């Protein structure tokens, strides 16, 4: 059974408006989150996220974002469990440095990441499987460029 090109395009097209709505004013967070993930590139598949989700017994959620189905929601407590205090503290510092503001309250950060993480994984992993590191890094770079281009106004105001 062969896959036709239209089948491959539908999932991306179907999620695009939802992604636009979710990312808009969170673009600065998404950029810092991507940078924080990239800093962990040597930690395994998908910047170590696969191991972290396995350890937290949440691989079904991660797999739902990589596949063609609906995003399985991620609770704030699950964000904390998967990413851990060290990563979240690192991310808070990166956000504070990039925005010249003090860190956002942890609960606000967890709420935003619970929304952003599925979108980021979907965009950088592609449809159906986690790509090799080289392609994954290219996807990250392309996503970053797209965010910088689309949300220039939002980013400039932060």
Burial 14-46 (b: 16+ CB within 10 A, else e): ebeeeeeebbeebbbbbbbbbebbeeeeeeeeb
Q: Determine whether domain 5-157 maps to CATH 1.10.10.690.
A: yes
| Digit-coded pLDDT (tens) for 86-124 | 888 888 888 877 766 554 555 588 988 998 898 888 888
> CA-CA distance, 142 to 139, in Å (whole number)?
5
Q: Which residues, at least 6 apart from 26, have a Cβ–Cβ distance to it below 8 Å? A: 112, 115, 116
| Digit-coded pLDDT (tens) for 66-80 | 886 677 899 999 999
**What average pLDDT does the segment 79-87 reach?**
91
Global pTM value: 0.74
The domains of the chain are located at 5-157
């Amino acid at each position: 059974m062969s896959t036709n090109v239209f089948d491959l395009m539908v999932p991306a097209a179907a999620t695009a408006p939802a992604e636009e709505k979710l990312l808009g004013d969170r673009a600065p967070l998404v950029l810092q989150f991507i940078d924080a993930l990239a800093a962990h590139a040597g930690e395994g598949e998908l910047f170590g996220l696969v191991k972290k989700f396995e350890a937290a017994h949440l691989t079904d959620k991660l797999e739902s974002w990589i596949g063609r189905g609906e995003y399985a929601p991620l609770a704030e407590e699950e964000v904390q469990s998967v990413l851990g205090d060290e990563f979240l503290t690192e991310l808070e510092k990166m956000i504070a440095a990039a925005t010249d503001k003090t860190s956002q309250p942890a609960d606000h950060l967890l709420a935003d990441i619970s929304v952003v993480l599925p979108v980021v994984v979907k965009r950088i992993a592609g449809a159906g499987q986690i790509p090799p590191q080289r392609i994954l890094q290219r996807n990250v770079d392309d996503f970053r460029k797209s965010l910088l281009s689309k949300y220039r106004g939002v980013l400039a105001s932060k």
